[in-house]
Amino acid sequence: MQTNSNQLELLSNLNKSFEDDFYKYAKTLQFKKGASPFYPDDLLKHFYIVVSGRIKTYQINFENNKEQTIFIYKRGGYV
């Protein structure tokens, strides 16, 4: 998995000091396809940057059991 900030547009213009601080506190997480770092009604406690793959946020309409996609985060996206 890529962790070099120069490989992500979001982090490409960081100065070295900020980049060092960023990676001091950052950690890489991996999720299996279909798994989610988010849970309904939970406040996000972390800042996520998508390094590879996608994260889909959605809600389910319980009246008709249909899923409504809210947003799809792709490489370089952040939540």
pLDDT given at position 72: 94
pLDDT given at position 46: 77
Q: Is 41 left (phi over 0), alpha (psi -120 to 50) or beta?
A: left
* Higher pLDDT among residues 63 and 15, named by residue: 63
pLDDT given at position 5: 47
Per-residue pLDDT of 1-23, as tens digits, reads: 445 544 677 777 878 888 788 88
C-alpha–C-alpha distance, residues 52 and 76, integer Å = 8
C-alpha–C-alpha distance, residues 38 and 68, integer Å = 16
What 3-state DSSP class applies to 7? helix
pLDDT given at position 3: 52
